[in-house]
Structure formats: structure tokens, C-alpha cells
Chains A and B, each alone.
Chain A
Amino acid sequence: MIYTIKSPALLIIGILMLVWGGLNNSGSIDGMQSYLQKSAYGDHMKVKEKFDAEYRVAKELAASEGSPAPDMKMKASKFDQVKAEQAKLSNVFGAVFVLIGLFTLVWKPTNGSLDYFVSVVPGVAYILLIAFIVRWGLDPIFANWGKAVKDAGILTWDFAHILNLNYVVLGIVIGMIIVNIFKIPAWAANGIRTARFFLKSGVILLGTLYSAAELAQLGGLSVILIGIFVLGSVGIVLFMGKRMGIPNSMTAVLSAGMGVCGVSATVASSPVVQAKAEEIAYTIGTILIWGVGCMFLFPTVGHMLNMGPVQFGAWAGTGILNSAQVAGAALAFDPHNIETLKVAEIFNITRVLFLPIIVLWLAAWYVKHEEGAEKVNLAQVVIAKFPVFVLGFIAMFALSSAGTFAPAGHYQGKYFSSSEVKEDKLLKGKETRVLDSELMRLREPDGAKALAKYLADTHVVSEGHNVTTTEVYQALGDLATNRKLMSRQQSDILKSVAKMEGFDGVAKGAIENAGKAATHDSKNIKEYRNWIAWLFAFGLIGLGMQITGKALKQAGGAPLIIGGIVGTLKAVGSLAVVLMFVKEFI
């Protein structure tokens, strides 16, 4: 059988990509890109203003000396780098697709693997084109809108952020729109089947983002509490799914989504249990609807029960499913202090770090249940059928925990390091003088009283105890002496203290600068994050293209019911536990 279908589509997609690459290189779409790549453009304006000023001064100088105008070149900004990357990707893939497209048109296919590989290319190109549109167009547009609507005061929350309208959800939605309105063109069908392969590659790389060493830095109670609730909800979903006769793959994906951390856990576990595309969509839909409901309900309940910041943070971090909504609820509960948000984040991170365990569990569970009731040797079956790429994920997680890609204590590539603060990022003399005088002020009787009152009122905690004024003095003094932050704890303490009424603005700015200087983002992991985003966008667009209206109807409402029951159990259960055991400290 011949797979290759003769169609000019591949050639056209290749040309479109080359056009985009060319437009980026020529700078003729800079206006539009400055809107889409907002933060990179901010950097561009800074670099440009510096260059313009230097050039103007150099020209004035040259004119006064009667020499010709100097020849100067502007340094590449982040904006230039972003455009260059888009141009490079578009040009490389565009050129390849044009060549293969031309080849297909003149070639007489014969049976064999060449025919099969060529037949896959148009579909891959089709998804990649959509992935470009999603990641470079829709994702930033929605992010801009979310901010604009919030800034305009129409909503008090960023809808794009809270509803996860990033490339993950947008990719699935776009795929669904295309399949339900236009049908998949015949020339693309073969390529679209490769989506799962890319998704699996993405999951393997996902292992690099997490590190077991981070878990060790988190509080003991958060690990125990989260462990019980994560594993408990996964267990309950698996049990209920079996009882209600829902397909194993659906049950398993839903359990990961309800148990761990919403969208990314769902995506990561979907290939483990060979979940169908519509099952993934259902799970994500259930999680998001449930999460948004929680985001509004939790703060109200928290205030009604008069919960403290640590209690509420622990509850939100345990009970709410998706990271963005956890942060949303914590901020809604307490917009002025970072304490609640910090605690919620600790619980949230703990939950995410359970992902490797869940993936292993689900892989074993799925293999066992798919093999049917016949009593075969479980160990043998698991070894024979265990998805190999899960081992890749676990291996990456292990390497990441060992510090192969970034210092072992990192979380998604970000880590604190005092020794790596660059020379030019050390605090300036002016800043240390202001810090010194703040230290003096806070040591005087009036200042000391105000500080002690502030520490007590806002429950500033560190490593399981209330922060004392002595610790604040120590941290401020250390910062002024070393011109950099020496530890994460001191960084957290000073960030809280800087929010105090009457704290000097420049000293607060110095603490911010020192915090930025000591927080590093691993280059390797940044690169992996970018790759993961591409692989997931690609995989999810392809999966979205398999979700028809009919398939959604067949999957039915059962996941919504289970999701609702388990979600409620988790919310109420964690509330009870938090109220009983969590006092003020983690």
C-alpha cells in the first residue's frame, strides 16, 4: 500500500513558514511583535535608549571636533533574540518542508519505509504550523488580554492565567475546533498520528524540572499532609472508577489530575495509561471548572472560619488542584501579605513533587488491570508491559535530583545561590548605607517596638518559628556587610520586613535587587522548559484533533461526577485536618 498522498499542502506550509521567518528577519513586523513579546520588548527599549544616548553624545563630540560621525552598532536585546529564534525555527522547518513538498510532487512513490516517512511529513508540518500560531500568537495574546482585563478593573483576577489559557489548553481547543469544523485533510492524517510520540518525549524531559532535593527542603508536615491527600485521592478515584465501570485509561488520567496538580499531571500521565484524547480533555475540563469554583469559595470559607495565614495556605495548597488557582486563592484571601501565598506555594510544590511516584503507580496499576482478571504473575506482566518512556522520565528525575542539570535544590530550574552572585550585582555603596541606617532606626526603641508589633501582627515565620527582631537585625546587618543575601531564610525574612509601613523605599529596593541577584535560573533547564513546551504544544494539538463531538458524548458525564465527589472530599477532608493539626507554623 502507498501512503504518500500527492498534495501541494506541504509546499504551501513550508512557504508560509519561510515568509514568517523572512518577515521576522526584515523587521517589518516589529510593531506586532512588540505587542506579542511584551517583556522582551521592554528590554529592547532599555538597550535602545542606552544606545541612542551613547550615539547622540558620540555624534555631538565628533561634530565639535570636526571628525566624521562614528560608526556604532546596537547590542542585541532579548527582543532581537526572540525574533531571531522564531526566524531560525521558521526558516529551518520551512526550507525542509519546501524541499520535501517539491520532492513529493515529482516523485513516484513505491512501497517501503521511505514512502511511509514521506507520508508523515505533511501532517507534522500542519501541526507544527498550528503550534507556531498557538505559541507565538494565541498564547501571548491571551496573556495580554488577561492582564488588560485585570488592569482595567473589569475582573479582579487574570482570567487567562487562572483558566490556564496557555499553549496547553489552547492547543487542545484549537485541535478540537479544527477537527469538528473542517475535518482533518487526508494528506495530514498520517502525520497527526505521531502526536503521542512527541507527547511522550515531552514527559521524559519533564523529569528534569523536578528535584527530590527540593522536597527535603520543604517542611515535614507539608510532605506528610500532602502525601496522604495525594495518594488518598488517587486511590479513591481509581476505586470509584472501577466500581462505576469507567475505562481504565479514563480513571487513571482523572486520578492523576485530581490527586497531583491538575493540568500538567494529566498531560504527564496520559501516555502512561494510553488515555484517549477526549479523556484528557474531560479531565482537564473537570479540573479547571472545579478549581475555579474553589478559588472563589476557599477565601470566603477561610474568612468565615477566621483562619490564619498558615492554615489557609496549607488548606489551599492541599485542597485546590491547579497551581495558578492555588496562587489566586491565596492572594484573594490575603492580598497584602506574602505569608499565605508562601505557605500555599510550599504545599503546592510538595504536591507537584509527588508526580514521579504517581506516574510509577499508575503505570503498574494500568498494566495490571488491562491484563484482565486471569491470575498471571503480576511482576512479570509489569516488567513486560511497563511503558519504557516512564523509565526515561524517572531517570531524568533522578539525574535532576543528583544535580546534573542545575544545583540539586532547584525547582523548575530556579534556585537560590549566594556564592554565584555576580560582582556587578553586589549592592552598591549607596544601598548598603541606606540598609545600615534602616538597621539603626529599627534598633532605636521606637523602631524596635514597631518592628516587634509588625512581626507579631503579620505572623512572619521562618523554619517553623516566629521571626524575632534579633533575626531581622542579623539579616539586615549581614546583607549590608556582604552586599548580597547569604541564605534563603534571610531573603524571605527581609522580603516580609520590607513590606512594613515606613520602611525606606530605597532599602526595600535594595532588598529586591539583592533577591534578584541571588535567584538564578539554570540555562539548561530553561532550554528544557522551552523544548517541553514545544513537545506538549505539538502533542496536544494532535490529540485535540482526535476529539470529535461524538467521542465526547461517548465518554459521558461520569468523570464529572467522580471529579466532583473526590474534589469535595479532598477540600473538606483537608479543611478538617488543617483545622485540627496546623496551628501557626509549618
Chain B
Amino acid sequence: MKSIKQLSFALITLGFMATSGASYAADAHPETPVSAPAGVKLVDAKQVQELQAKGATIVDTRKASEFGEGSIKGAISVPYDPEKSAKSADFNAAEDKFDTAKLSDKNATIVVFCNSGTCWKSYKAAVALSKAGYKNVNWYRDGVPDWKARKLPME
């Protein structure tokens, strides 16, 4: 009797460790790809400034509250929020909300950004825009932390 109890306890513990291990593995903090998705151009801070000077629309895809706290000067807020899909290149855009009503001109030059590295909002927004037929989508992967570090104009 005693040994059955202890054996079943050992099995339950193993099962527990396996499930917690599995859910841990599924929950890493992945970074976005370092190259741009199809139909999108990867740009750096200098290129963003050049595009902005030529009249490009700079789009902050972070939450509206983050945009309010400070963003690239002249940027507009088009939040990719809430973002519920998986943080991977084969994400399902149907799980997220991205209202592009503010971006009416599909031929306009658009630069999307959020925070760098582990922030997937701008990557997903770029994919969504490109799929929706926007022709000149640029992705500023380094995003706000890079812009701030370079002491470029914020507002």
C-alpha cells in the first residue's frame, strides 16, 4: 500500500515537472528576425530621418499610452493592440487588432517601429500592411530605444 502511494506520488511529480518544463520551453522570449519580411524594407535611424524629411508617414505601433509618454517626433499612433498571436514569423494576424483606417494611401511611404528586439508589434504590422497591398513599407527594427540613445528628436 505504502509503496503504491509513493510510486504514484513519484509519477505525479514527474508529470508535473514535465508539464512545467514544456510550458517553460514554449514561453521563451524570442527576438524578431533580423531581416525584413517579404515586401518590406529594413531601415536604420539615419534612413528613417531621410524618409521623414521626404514626407514619409512614421507609425508608432506600440500601445497608445506608450505613444503618449514619448515617441519619435512627428510620428502618428496606430497601435498593434491587443497583440495576442504567437511571437513568431508564422503568427496568426486574425488573433490581433490593427486598425489601419489612419493609413489610407497604399502608395505612401510608411515606416513602422516599436521597441527593439523582443517587440513583435512593428514586425507584425509591417507584414499586415504588406499583405494588405501597401507598396512602400519600411521596418525600423531598432525602434525607440535606438532613437533615444542617438538623442534624436522625441515628443
Interface residue ranges, A against B (CB under 8 Å):
31-32, 34-35, 41, 45-46, 49-50, 52-54, 56-58, 141, 144-145, 148, 151, 177, 180-182, 427-431, 434, 505-506, 508-510, 512-513
User: CA of A435 to CA of B154 in the docked complex: distance in angstroms?
Assistant: 20
Q: Are A56 and B146 in contact (CB under 8 A)?
A: yes
**B34-42, B64-72, B105-113, B123-131: which lies at the interface:** B64-72
Q: Are B77 and A506 in contact (CB under 8 A)?
A: yes
Chain B 144-155, CB-CB to A under 8 Å as 1, else 0, gives 011011100001
A515 to chain B, nearest CB (A): 10
Q: Are B149 and A509 in contact (CB under 8 A)?
A: no
Q: Are B9 and A509 in contact (CB under 8 A)?
A: no
Q: A145 contacts which chain B residues (CB < 8 A)? A: 23
- Knowing A57-B146, A182-B6, A506-B77 are in contact, say whether A52-B65 is a contact too (CB < 8 A): no
Q: B79 contacts which chain A residues (CB < 8 A)? A: 505
Q: Are A181 and B9 in contact (CB under 8 A)?
A: yes
Q: B148 contacts which chain A residues (CB < 8 A)? A: 50, 53
Q: Are A434 and B118 in contact (CB under 8 A)?
A: no
Q: Are B118 and A50 in contact (CB under 8 A)?
A: no
Q: Other than A50-B148, A181-B6, A428-B68, give 17 A-B pairs with Cβ distance below 8 A.
A: A45-B117, A50-B149, A53-B145, A53-B148, A54-B149, A57-B146, A141-B20, A141-B23, A151-B84, A177-B9, A181-B9, A428-B155, A431-B68, A506-B68, A513-B65, A513-B68, A513-B69
Q: Are A49 and B68 in contact (CB under 8 A)?
A: no
Q: Does B29 contact A (CB under 8 A)?
A: yes
Q: A50 contacts which chain B residues (CB < 8 A)? A: 145, 148-149
User: CA of A58 to CA of B148 in the docked complex: distance in angstroms?
Assistant: 12
User: CA of A431 to CA of B142 in the docked complex: distance in angstroms?
Assistant: 25
User: CA of A57 to CA of B152 in the docked complex: distance in angstroms?
Assistant: 12
Lowest 6 A-B CB distances belong to which pairs? Answer: A509-B65, A509-B64, A505-B64, A53-B145, A53-B149, A54-B149
A103 to chain B, nearest CB (A): 32
Q: Please give me the residue from chain B that is nearest to A47 by CB atom.
A: B145
Q: A148 contacts which chain B residues (CB < 8 A)? A: 23
Q: Are A506 and B64 in contact (CB under 8 A)?
A: yes
Q: A35 contacts which chain B residues (CB < 8 A)? A: 23-24, 27
Q: A434 contacts which chain B residues (CB < 8 A)? A: 68
Interface residues of B in 37-84 (CB under 8 A from A): 63-70, 77, 79, 84
Q: Are A32 and B70 in contact (CB under 8 A)?
A: no
A140 to chain B, nearest CB (A): 10
User: CA of A138 to CA of B23 in the docked complex: distance in angstroms?
Assistant: 13
Chain B 18-34, CB-CB to A under 8 Å as 1, else 0, gives 00100110011100000
Q: Please give me the residue from chain A that is nearest to B81 by CB atom.
A: A505
Q: Does B136 contact A (CB under 8 A)?
A: no
User: CA of A141 to CA of B70 in the docked complex: distance in angstroms?
Assistant: 35
Which of A49, A508, A512 has the most CB atoms of chain B within a 10 A radius of its CB? A49
Q: B28 contacts which chain A residues (CB < 8 A)? A: 31
Interface footprint category on B? 20 to 34
Q: Are A430 and B68 in contact (CB under 8 A)?
A: yes
B10 to chain A, nearest CB (A): 10
A279 to chain B, nearest CB (A): 24
- Knowing A56-B146, A177-B9 are in contact, say whether A49-B115 is a contact too (CB < 8 A): yes
Q: A49 contacts which chain B residues (CB < 8 A)? A: 115-118, 145
User: CA of A54 to CA of B28 in the docked complex: distance in angstroms?
Assistant: 24
User: CA of A505 to CA of B71 in the docked complex: distance in angstroms?
Assistant: 15
User: CA of A550 to CA of B8 in the docked complex: distance in angstroms?
Assistant: 20
User: CA of A95 to CA of B115 in the docked complex: distance in angstroms?
Assistant: 42
User: CA of A50 to CA of B24 in the docked complex: distance in angstroms?
Assistant: 26
Q: Please give me the residue from chain B that is nearest to A48 by CB atom.
A: B117
Q: Are B145 and A508 in contact (CB under 8 A)?
A: no
Which of B68, B70, B77, B116 has the most CB atoms of chain A within a 10 A radius of its CB? B68
User: CA of A506 to CA of B79 in the docked complex: distance in angstroms?
Assistant: 10
Q: Are A430 and B155 in contact (CB under 8 A)?
A: yes
Q: Are A45 and B118 in contact (CB under 8 A)?
A: yes
Q: Are B5 and A181 in contact (CB under 8 A)?
A: yes
User: CA of A145 to CA of B21 in the docked complex: distance in angstroms?
Assistant: 12
A89 to chain B, nearest CB (A): 22
Q: Please give me the residue from chain A that is nearest to B65 by CB atom.
A: A509
User: CA of A58 to CA of B149 in the docked complex: distance in angstroms?
Assistant: 8
A43 to chain B, nearest CB (A): 12
Q: What are 14 of the A-B contact pairs (CB < 8 Å)?
A: A31-B24, A45-B29, A50-B148, A52-B145, A53-B145, A53-B148, A427-B68, A428-B155, A431-B68, A508-B64, A509-B68, A510-B65, A513-B68, A513-B69
User: CA of A151 to CA of B26 in the docked complex: distance in angstroms?
Assistant: 14
Q: Please give me the residue from chain B that is nearest to A137 by CB atom.
A: B20
User: CA of A32 to CA of B148 in the docked complex: distance in angstroms?
Assistant: 31
Q: Are B117 and A32 in contact (CB under 8 A)?
A: no
Q: A46 contacts which chain B residues (CB < 8 A)? A: 115
Q: B149 contacts which chain A residues (CB < 8 A)? A: 50, 53-54, 56-58
B9 to chain A, nearest CB (A): 5
Q: Please give me the residue from chain B that is nearest to A57 by CB atom.
A: B149
Q: B24 contacts which chain A residues (CB < 8 A)? A: 31-32, 35
B30 to chain A, nearest CB (A): 11
B102 to chain A, nearest CB (A): 10
Q: Please give me the residue from chain A that is nearest to B62 by CB atom.
A: A509
Q: Please give me the residue from chain A that is nearest to B155 by CB atom.
A: A430
- Knowing A181-B5, A181-B9 are in contact, say whether A52-B116 is a contact too (CB < 8 A): yes
Q: Are B117 and A52 in contact (CB under 8 A)?
A: yes
Q: Are B67 and A506 in contact (CB under 8 A)?
A: yes
Q: A510 contacts which chain B residues (CB < 8 A)? A: 65, 68
User: CA of A259 to CA of B68 in the docked complex: distance in angstroms?
Assistant: 45
Which of A31, A54, A57, A513 has the most CB atoms of chain B within a 10 A radius of its CB? A57
Q: B115 contacts which chain A residues (CB < 8 A)? A: 46, 49
B73 to chain A, nearest CB (A): 10
User: CA of A399 to CA of B19 in the docked complex: distance in angstroms?
Assistant: 46
Q: A181 contacts which chain B residues (CB < 8 A)? A: 5-6, 9
User: CA of A534 to CA of B63 in the docked complex: distance in angstroms?
Assistant: 36
A548 to chain B, nearest CB (A): 13
User: CA of A145 to CA of B142 in the docked complex: distance in angstroms?
Assistant: 32
Q: Are A53 and B146 in contact (CB under 8 A)?
A: yes
Q: B6 contacts which chain A residues (CB < 8 A)? A: 181-182
Q: A34 contacts which chain B residues (CB < 8 A)? A: 29
Q: Please give me the residue from chain B that is nearest to A50 by CB atom.
A: B145
Q: Are A57 and B150 in contact (CB under 8 A)?
A: yes
User: CA of A427 to CA of B67 in the docked complex: distance in angstroms?
Assistant: 12
User: CA of A509 to CA of B24 in the docked complex: distance in angstroms?
Assistant: 32
